[in-house]
Amino acid sequence: MASAFDADIQNVLTHHDKPDAAKVMTAHEVYENAGTFAQAAIAPLDQILDNQTGAFPHRLWKQLGEQGYKGLIIPETYGGMGLGYLALTAATLQISKASGSVGLSFIADQALCTHQIIKHGTDEQKAKYLPALASGDKVGALAMSEPEAGSDVMSMRTRAEPAERNGVKGYVINGTKTWITNGGRNDETTGAPLTADVLVLYAVTNTAPKKLTAFLVDGGTEGFNAVRKIEKECLPGSETWELEFNDVFVPEDAILGTVNKGANVLMAGLNAERLILGAGALGLAIAAFDDAVDYTTQRRQFGGPIAYNQDVAFDLADIYSEITGALANMFTAAAMADNGIDLTNGMAASVFLEASQIATRAAEQNVYYHGGNGQTIDYRAGLIKRDASLYRVGGGSEHVRMLRIAEQVIPGYREHVIEERNLRALAKELSDKFKGATRLVSGELEVFGKTNPGGEFLLVPVDRKP
C-alpha cells in the first residue's frame, strides 16, 4: 500500500545516496523493493502474529536473507550487500510499517548482533558468523538484560570465570538473561524450545572494579537453554525469551573485542542501535498515520468524511509534519554514519526519542479517530498503538535517552550524575555495613532525617533512631 510519505522519503534517500557504480543497490531502491516485499510477504502475517494464532514463521528469516535485507550492512566479502545504515533504516521502515513484530525481530538481529560482529569481530569470527547471518540461515540476538539489570547495565550478575576444558582455554558462564528478543523459539515440529542461533552475551569478568566482557555464544551449546517465552501485550509475534546459562563453556576465541572491555563494545553499539530502533518506531508512526488518513476519509458523519473537519485535518497535518521532521533527522544521522562520522550520544538518543514520541502520538490519535472500532481486533489501529508503546521503554527508556541528551548539552551535568551515582553507591555500602544507618537524599547523606552536607558521614546505629 502506498504511503503519504513515499515521495518525500524517496527524495530524501536520493539526496543522501552517494553515486557509486560498485553498489549493488541504492538506498532509494532498497526502500522501494523492501516496500513491495514487506506488503506481500509480511503484512498478511501481522494480525495473525498479534492474535497469537500462529508462531513466528522461521522461514521468513530465509526469505529476508534471499532478498538481501539480512545482509544490507554485511560486507560483500562475507555474503552481504555492503551498503550501510541509510539502506538499513530504509528497509527497517518498510518492514516495521508492515508488521511491528517482524520489525523488532529484524532490528534485534541487525542492530544488536550483526552490527556488533561487523564492528568488533575478528576476521575468524566474521567468517564464521556473517555469511550465515546474511543468508538467513542464522538469526542473531543480544543478551544483556537481567531480572535485576535493565538500564543499570553494570548491576548485571551473570559471571564468566576463566576455565580450561580438554586442553582448551576459555570461560565458564553462569547466569540468567531476560527480555531477549530472538533469544529462542519453539521447534515447528516438536514444539521443543530452541535457543538463538548466535548470541552476543555480556558477562562480568572482573568484580573489583566491575568489568564486563562480550562473548559470542552458539545456539545449542551445552548448558545454554531457552527456558521461558515471555508473553507480551505489545509485539507478541516478536519472540522474547528468558535464557539460562549453566556452566556454559566458551573458548577464548569467542570473546568479542577485548577481555574486560565489554562495556566499550556495548556503548559503541548503542548509537547504531538507537538509530535503527528509531526507524522501527517511525515505521509504526507511518502505519498509524496512513491508517488514520484512510479511515477518516472513508468514515462519513454529518454528511461528509470526518477528515474534512478542520480539527481532524489540522491534527493530521501536524502529525505529518512531526513524522517528516523525524524522518529527516534519522536519514541525516544514517548518512553521517555511512560517511564515517561518529554520531554523538545526544544525536542518536534524540533520533530515537523523537521517533518513539511521534509513533506513540500518531498511534493514539489513530485509535481515537476510529472511535469504538479502534478498541476491537477487527481493525489494526489498536495493534499499532500497543506495538508503538514498546519503543518508549525498549532499547533504553525515554528518560534514559533524555539523560544522554542532557549530559551532552548541559555543562557539568554528566559529572554531577556520576558524582551522585558514586555517592549513592557509597551510601548503600555504608548502609549495608551499618545495618541501614545511612541513606542518600538529594545528593546528601541523611541519617534518620538529619543531613550532613559537610562531607563527613554520620553513622547512627538502628536502635538509636531519633
Question: Would you name the residues annotated as active-site residues?
Answer: 273
Kindly provide the residue ranges of all beta strands, DSSP E only, lying in 40-94, ordered along the sequence. none
Residues sharing a CB contact under 8 Å with residue 253, sequence separation 6 or more, in sequence order: 122, 124, 125
Residue 29 pairs in a beta bridge with none
DSSP string covering 201-218, please?
A: EEEEEEETTEEEEEEEEE
The CB density around residue 336, as the number of other CB atoms within 10 Å, is: 18
Residue-by-residue DSSP string for 325-337: HHHHHHHHHHHHH
Three-state SS sequence of 140-197: EEEECCECCECCCHHHCCCEEEEEEECCEEEEEEEEEEEEEECCEEECCCCCCEEECC
What is the C-alpha separation between 243 and 167, in angstroms, rounded? Answer: 28
- Tell me the pairing of strands 210-218 and 444-447: unpaired
Task: With CA atoms as reference, report the closest residue to 85 among 103, 100, 107.
Answer: 107
Measured between alpha carbons, how far is 292 from 79 in angstroms, rounded to an integer? 40
Contacts of 16 (CB under 8 A, 6+ apart): 27, 86, 331, 332, 334, 335
Q: How far apart are the first and last CA of the chain?
A: 69
